[in-house]
Chain A
Amino acid sequence: MSVTTFSSPALAQRQPNWLVRLFDYKPFLIVMCLAPALGLLAVFLTYPLGLGVWLAFTDTTIGRRGIFVGLENFQYLLTDPLWWNAVFYSVFYTAVATFGKFALGFWLALLLNNHFPFKSVLRAIVLLPWIVPTVLSALAFWWIYDPQFSIISYLLVDVLHWRSSNIDFLGSPWPARFSLIAANIWRGIPFVAISLLAGLQTISPSLYEAAMLDGASAWQRFRYITFPMMMPILAIVMTFSIIFTFTDFQLVYAITRGGPVNSTHLLATLAFQRGIAGGELGEGAAIAVSMIPFLVFATLFSYFGLARRKWQQGEAND
């Protein structure tokens, strides 16, 4: 009884109208499925990317259509000490922050890979800096770096008596640069640690057992098992980290806006200052485009990381 009631609507569906049949026609269905995603990406990603490169070769300003000026913008940038300053600080910021994030993040991942109570709670807490909006935690850092009421200065001066005067975190170039890097490392550790922890958990314990039977020390186990096994995932996470640190905007914009005396401009904040705030769209676009070579380099790094992973796991891995 139940079978017949069940099959009658199914039978009705066997004679579909043309619309249903059209949607069951595979090429049409593929196009329909891909259309929203590819459409959005084409209009708001690929087209602007091309447009950005074009703008970089024009003298467009806000409200005025520019004309093609060739390499003029780039020639100007090459003579602009502020641009060179931004390139220097972008590279420095990326290098130091990435090193810090990975050293500390890897350490944290190794610590979290041990067994102890409340492990999942701890893992959840650790990820918090990464979840909270960057600008909002940057504001907290701004307050922590306050020249007068910095809590770090208070600790060092009034509690520990290590210093006699408050630290001027954001008032002069080098302290400001390192303060921003510290904030970036703080924000980046969770992502690195949790990603690497996932990688650590995939390493088979039998490898460690075998090594221990062979008499390998803890350092040797780390150096010859953990590290090589983590290489592929390290390469991927590092690529992401490098790309998003190099093009970072929020932290610097929120804490120093490129100051003091333009010493902490990253390429992204400089592009914003010239392009949107200053209205020189062409020049801003040129600054943004000048980031691309660095990004291509990082992506190639990722590609070879991935290729290596495939090779390590053999052909059958799909």
Chain B
Amino acid sequence: MTDTVAQGSAVAKAAPDTMAWDSGLRRLMMIYLPLGCFVLILLFPFYWMAITSFKPNAELMNYKDHNPFWISSPTLAHIKHLLFDTAYPRWLKTTMLVAIGSTTLSLIASTLAAYAIERLRFRGSPYVGLGIYLAYLVPPSILFIPLATVVVQFGLFDSPLALILVYPTFLVPFCTWLLIGYFKSIPYELEECALVDGATRLQILRRITLPLAVPGLISAGIFSFTLSWNEFIYALAFIQSGANKTVPVAILTELVTGDVYQWGALMAGSLLGSLPVAIFYSLFVDYYVSSLTGAVKE
């Protein structure tokens, strides 16, 4: 009796085994192989960027004697050149300043706006929300020419302050929409309780709504930081002098000189310029994903 049961279970076990192997191969072909190709292609430019920045020039220009996919004798010469012979540290500092400044400004403005739209609920608040959403759809490419004249009018041309003030045009709509979504998820009853207890609106915002919306604030903050770190066209159009440029613009306009491109230095600059956002990103991956998908779903 027990034997047959054992046998039966053994048979039953064997059948799924072959099927599992079959579907395992299938999974390999249908899922892991394409996935592997995707990851390989998506990551290759970064690998190439990294490996180029540590290669000596001799290896960089000679594929016959050196395997281009590896470094025989790694060097820090390109990074040293970048840090000590160019204004790179200065560019990094400017970029950091602009990113932090515009992020702070946009966070304050959009927290207040989102609170007013979602919680104070006045007549026409959906339309204000829609207006801000539409502002997000206005791309920088059609604004930069008139904005350049506005910036000149304000006497801010060639000043990082111009970028701090202009970046909120694409950060505020994004952050406001993200935060409206977050505020929506906070139970209204909490605020009603506080109102009954005699708290003022600003107290409610500071003591109840904001602490509960911290994940949303972090999402909006890191996202804004990344977006302003990566911004290019405004920084290209509004900043003239080499010292005030942001990293993406400076690498393209200051390091690309002459006919022979210094690929080592260019790639080292790109690598260093990408690292801050990449590190930031690795620390807050989940916030990035939630804000990306949250903003799309709203």
Contact = CB atoms under 8 A, between A and B. Distances in A.
B230 A140 contact: no
Contact of A133 (B105, B237, B247): B247
A275 B128 contact: no
A288 B138 CA distance: 12
A285 B146 CA distance: 7
Interface in A68-112: 104, 107-108, 111-112
Chain B interface residue number, banded: 35 or more
Contact of A44 (B35, B49, B168): B168
A131 interface: yes
Interface stretch (A120-128, A170-178, A208-216, A220-228): A120-128
Contact of A299 (B134, B173, B251, B278): B134
B288 A127 contact: yes
Interface string B128-154: 100010110111111111111110000
Interface in B252-288: 252, 263, 266-267, 269-270, 273-274, 277-278, 281-282, 285, 288
B60 interface: yes
Interface string A27-46: 10110111011101101110
A264 B73 CA distance: 38
B106 to A, nearest CB: 8
B7 interface: no
A296 to B, nearest CB: 10
A254 B45 CA distance: 15
B110 A37 contact: yes
Given A24-B202, A48-B143, A41 B172 contact: yes
A311 interface: no
Contacts of B120: 26, 29-30, 33
B61 interface: yes
B43 interface: yes
Given A33-B115, A195-B292, A292-B142, A128 B278 contact: yes
Nearest to B272: A136
B274 A136 contact: yes
B188 interface: no
Interface in B151-188: 165-166, 168-169, 172-173, 176
Interface string A130-144: 011111110111011
Contacts of B237: 272, 276
Given A23-B201, A128-B42, A133-B248, A114 B31 contact: yes
Contacts of B86: none
A194 B27 CA distance: 21
Given A24-B200, A154-B63, A40 B169 contact: yes
Interface residues of A, number: 99
Interface string B92-125: 0000000000000100111011011100101000
Contacts of A197: 293
15 contacts: A10-B198, A26-B201, A48-B147, A49-B142, A52-B143, A122-B35, A132-B274, A133-B247, A136-B269, A139-B267, A139-B270, A140-B48, A143-B263, A191-B292, A198-B289
Given A29-B116, A33-B120, 8 more contacts: A26-B120, A48-B150, A60-B149, A131-B288, A132-B46, A133-B230, A134-B248, A198-B296
Interface of B: 27, 31-32, 34-35, 38-39, 41-43, 45-46, 48-49, 52, 60-61, 63, 68, 105, 108-110, 112-113, 115-117, 120, 122, 128, 132, 134-135, 137-150, 165-166, 168-169, 172-173, 176, 198, 200-202, 226, 229-230, 232-233, 236-237, 247-249, 251-252, 263, 266-267, 269-270, 273-274, 277-278, 281-282, 285, 288-289, 292-293, 296-297
Interface of A: 10, 13-14, 16, 20, 23-24, 26-27, 29-30, 32-34, 36-38, 40-41, 43-45, 47-49, 51-52, 55, 60, 104, 107-108, 111-112, 114, 116, 120, 122-129, 131-137, 139-141, 143-144, 146, 149, 151, 154, 158, 186, 189-191, 194-195, 197-199, 233, 236-237, 240, 243-244, 247-250, 253-254, 267-268, 271-272, 275-276, 281, 284-285, 288-289, 291-292, 295, 299, 302
